[in-house]
Structure 1
Amino acid sequence: MGALSSRMWSRRNPEEDEPVREEAAVEAEEAAGPSVVQEEQASEQPGVSTGQGSTGQGGHKRKGSPGGPLAKVPRRTPHKSLFLSSENSDIKIFAFQKEWYLHKSYLCCSGYFASMFCGAWRESDMDTIEMQMPDENIDLEAFHDVLGFLYSRRIVISPPRVIAILATASMLQLDELIEQCEDMMRDSVTSETVCNYYYSAESYGLQSIRFVCCQWLLDNLMTRQNDELLLEINVDLMKELIASSDLLVVGVEMDVYTTLKKWMYLQLEVPTCSGSERALLPEELSFAKFRSESDNRPFLETDRGRAFVSVFQRLRLPYIICDLPSACTIDQDGLIPATWLTPVYKEQWLALLRAEQSKELGPVDIYVSDIHGNSMRCGGQLSTDEQCSWTWSGFNFGWDLVVCYTNRRIIFHRSAMNKSGGLGVSLLWQRKVAFRLRVISLDSTGKSVLRRETDYTVLSLRKDQQLEVVNLGNEEITFPIYVACNFLYLPGESGAGPSWESSRRPMN
């Protein structure tokens, strides 16, 4: 960025001078006295904690001036050339070892300066204000640009600079500029910016941006993985993502476990290495080394592993241990304690017996407590607009379900002849399942360009019966598209899961 002397602020740029008649208008306005407007009252968003301050439309905190939320602050005619000169200056701001010769009437467009100059503060009678920045995100360039915004009402915001501008605007209580930062962040969420935007949205109370970033991560965590993105996701954020039933799972729950294992490995190894990729141990050797250093205890019970316990507890283990290869992998990895797994194995065995030997057909009512955190998450990718079908083989709790894509329609089909599951399928004439289906298409930046979602519905199918779940005939579809399903299928035992593996075959 380079050092900037205070003389830079006093230079005039002829191209930026206002017309003579505008300067005359400004002088006339000054002679008549500053115009005033009432500061908008903040309106709280329902369900958003705002602390002591209230929250504006974008979710950021507002701080009232000493006169209360309706205190009057001046709003001046845009005049950038006046900012670049020291003409008629009545206040000097000193920060970052630099000086700005400015005008209180323009600075008071900021709630921060309006409180300082118009209230019962000692700074109200001072002609030099020395400022200490409370936020490390604020830098000299951002502070200068935002001061210029108070004069010109214009500012250039780029993705690399938006957090610094946002931090400065938040300190100076400039709601209009904060909203501009929100717009920029909303339009520029990518794998490179999403985590930084998410953490900043949390810091500055931008609930809408927090939601946008969280949704992007739920859609892309398993569809466009890269080491850099996984490294930026901290424990609290990963815990929120893994716990969500909206996580777009490409494959099955075992794939979520594999993603978590990679994430934990990167969190442990990369920050401690010298920066050279050659210094990294292979993933399996790394965990074996950790276990050997801890007397072969399950890794999540070791000192280093305990930091990740809250994340792995969000895994839906019933949908992992029913598949033999997955159960063997879990056992061989030695990450998850046996005290977690033993109760799940018991529950799964009892659930299988209930499904095969009881007369209960399946769920009758759907409760929110069942839906959140208990549903089976699975999904797949359709690369082209071609007819195909796939099964989640071994859907043993009363289902022999085939999912078909044909003519832009997604159809559930019960086929009692499908006996490819490891434990076979139930031949009971009718069973019920609660399901939700989502169809999502993402552009090159990971932003959703198509999202269709059904409500949770209780489905009852008999032998060879079909149900059209989604019709995309009127939609503009960009392939690939992702088809994601959530299932609940046992009354009172929604946490139990089936043994299955994903497979696809051409449509006959």
Structure 2
Amino acid sequence: AFPFCRFKHYCSRNRSSNRTKKLKSTSKYIYQTLFLKGENSDIKICALGEEWNLHKIYLCQSGYFSSMFSGSWRESEMDTIELEIPDQNIDVEALQVAFGSLYRDEVLINPSRVIALLAAASMLQLDGLIQQCGETMKETINAKTVCSYYNSAGTYGLDSLKKKCLEWLLNNLMTHQCVELVKELSINLMKQLISSSNLFVMQVEMDVYTALKKWMFLQLVPSWNGSLKDLLNEADVWFSKRKKDFGDGISFLESEPGSAFLAVFRHLRLQYIVSDLASAKIVERDGLIPAEWLSSVYKQQWFAMLRAEQDNDIGPQEINKDELEANSMRCGRKLAKDGDYCWRWTGFNFGFDLLVTYTNRYIIFKRNTLNQPCSGSVSLQPRRNIAFRLRLASFDSSGKLICSRTAGYQILTLEKDQEQVVMNLGSQLLVFPLYICCNFLYTSPEKKTETDGQLDNLES
């Protein structure tokens, strides 16, 4: 015997299934009959040399047409409307999909067509379609699409998409370098990336300078079409030839072709470039940076060194997020596969020889003073502070974040040769290669005297 309760459930389930099928077939019928065939049309829309026989009742779902038909506009009484299309991103195919979306429940968006469709949806004020375009774009951000998506997000007011593109660029600009992507980066966008404390730097700040040098070369010589491995050498040769065209003491950024890039290079953290001898020599040789900038940084670093040596500056005493974000050293490392690693980042770090170890899913900082040979000076102060933020990330083949972890901003006090676990990854899923990025501040911010403030005002 078939129990009544199961029979009731069976009937209910079949009615639900039939209702779904009926709704789908109704939606399909409306789209094919009313939209594609234009049956019972009461208005004709003309644009870009094409015509659509549509229905006012459906068009009123669009804010654009709703305003047109509800007011005292002359178009409200017309049965043929010629649309002016001011946006060059809009084409016939995009209008076809946008108009068709008014007659159906779901729209399949082709990522290669999404910008044109977003432009059409924005003009017609189709909020649902705009949102769907934004979600499609977020899911398809990669090296080929990120710049066009970022620009479109700004044009059409998609703030969350713009933020997503910026995050992708901060994560991938240095970790997955690509000639075609670098070519597309505008001056304003590059300025945002280089100034950010969230830029995922690989190796040290000198590598940010090198990336900027390659980017500036590609902006000035956009026809260059070589490989990434040849790019730096080509840039060096090109700038070396230009150097001869200017008088002594004139840097490339002070020349007419270089002046457009001044605002971007200002955001380099030069104090962490000149602290390494090899890097400082390259910067001097290139002649890109104004001598004034460099002399100011040399002076700043010299006084910081004297404070660490003679005033016994033990390092930052408190977390000042703004100070850390604006002035911290940015550096990073790629771990190709799981294993044991130990490294230090090059440069003079005010007697703080920091060793970083990754082992058994622990990341450990050690203040080295006596146990291992060091390439720089070592402070023997009983205690030293360091302010830092540690971030880990893995990416898929399109540069999308798979997993990430951050320790947030912290201050660590270490005695001589003391080591400290700064991150325990435990059982967390790790995907290799694993990228580690750190922000460091070794010395406490210099306290300005009243005289310094007066001098700053005079300079302003």
Q: What band does the TM-score fall into relative to the shorter chain? A: 0.7 to 0.9
The CA distance in 1 between the partners of 2:127 and 2:37, in whole Å, is 26
Structure 1 contact 435–487 (Cα < 8 Å) conserved: yes
Cα deviation for residue 419 of structure 1 reads 6.3
The CA distance in 2 between the partners of 1:216 and 1:258, in whole Å, is 20
Within the alignment, does 1:349 sit opposite 2:302 as a pair? yes
Per-residue CA deviations over 1:3-31 (Å, capped at 9, x if unaligned) read xxxxxxxxxxxxxxxx9x989999xxxxx
Per-residue CA deviations over 1:401-457 (Å, capped at 9, x if unaligned) read 111111111011122126654441111111111110001111111111111011211
Match of 2:43 in 1: 91
Compared CA separation, residues 276 and 487, structure 1 to 2 (3 A): closer
Match of 2:342 in 1: 389
Compared CA separation, residues 319 and 394, structure 1 to 2 (3 A): closer
SS in 2 for 1:459: strand
Compared CA separation, residues 208 and 23, structure 1 to 2 (3 A): closer
1:474 aligns with one of 427, 436, 440: 427
Match of 1:448 in 2: 401
Unaligned stretches of 5+ residues in structure 1: 1-18, 27-76, 495-508
Structure 1 contact 398–431 (Cα < 8 Å) conserved: no
More helix by share: 2
Amino acid at match of 2:285: Q
SS in 2 for 1:286: helix
Compared CA separation, residues 331 and 418, structure 1 to 2 (3 A): farther
Match of 2:380 in 1: 427
Match of 2:102 in 1: 150
Structure 2 contact 371–417 (Cα < 8 Å) conserved: no
The CA distance in 1 between the partners of 2:40 and 2:81, in whole Å, is 17
Match of 1:197 in 2: 149
Match of 1:236 in 2: 188
Match of 1:223 in 2: 175
The CA distance in 1 between the partners of 2:371 and 2:25, in whole Å, is 85
2:89 aligns with one of 126, 134, 137: 137
1:120 aligns with one of 56, 62, 72: 72
Match of 1:492 in 2: 445
Give runs of ≥4 in structure 1 deviating > 6 Å. Answer: 21-26
Cα deviation for residue 299 of structure 1 reads 0.5
SS in 2 for 1:441: strand
1:317 aligns with one of 270, 277, 299: 270
1:363 aligns with one of 300, 303, 316: 316
Within the alignment, does 1:372 sit opposite 2:325 as a pair? yes
Structure 1 contact 169–175 (Cα < 8 Å) conserved: yes
How many residues are treated as equivalent by the alignment? 422
Cα deviation for residue 78 of structure 1 reads 5.3
The CA distance in 1 between the partners of 2:24 and 2:365, in whole Å, is 72
Cα deviation for residue 105 of structure 1 reads 0.4
Compared CA separation, residues 450 and 194, structure 1 to 2 (3 A): same
The CA distance in 2 between the partners of 1:396 and 1:148, in whole Å, is 63
Aligned Cα root-mean-square deviation (Å): 2.4
Amino acid at match of 2:305: L
The CA distance in 2 between the partners of 1:129 and 1:218, in whole Å, is 46
The CA distance in 1 between the partners of 2:280 and 2:25, in whole Å, is 80
The CA distance in 1 between the partners of 2:316 and 2:69, in whole Å, is 65
Match of 1:401 in 2: 354
Match of 2:197 in 1: 245
SS in 1 for 2:344: strand
Cα deviation for residue 92 of structure 1 reads 0.8
Per-residue CA deviations over 1:382-418 (Å, capped at 9, x if unaligned) read 1111011111255532412111111111011122126
SS in 2 for 1:487: strand
TM-score (norm 1): 0.79
Match of 2:451 in 1: none
SS in 2 for 1:385: coil
Cα deviation for residue 153 of structure 1 reads 2.9
Name the stretch that deviates more: 359-368 or 193-202.
359-368
Structure 1 contact 330–336 (Cα < 8 Å) conserved: yes
Within the alignment, does 1:338 sit opposite 2:291 as a pair? yes
Compared CA separation, residues 192 and 257, structure 1 to 2 (3 A): same
SS in 1 for 2:331: strand
SS in 2 for 1:428: coil
SS in 1 for 2:61: coil
Compared CA separation, residues 267 and 418, structure 1 to 2 (3 A): farther
Cα deviation for residue 288 of structure 1 reads 2.3
Structure 1 contact 393–421 (Cα < 8 Å) conserved: no
The CA distance in 1 between the partners of 2:238 and 2:174, in whole Å, is 23
The CA distance in 2 between the partners of 1:471 and 1:451, in whole Å, is 13
Compared CA separation, residues 144 and 187, structure 1 to 2 (3 A): same
Amino acid at match of 1:350: F
The CA distance in 2 between the partners of 1:316 and 1:418, in whole Å, is 31
Structure 1 contact 394–424 (Cα < 8 Å) conserved: no
Match of 1:163 in 2: 115
The CA distance in 2 between the partners of 1:132 and 1:428, in whole Å, is 74
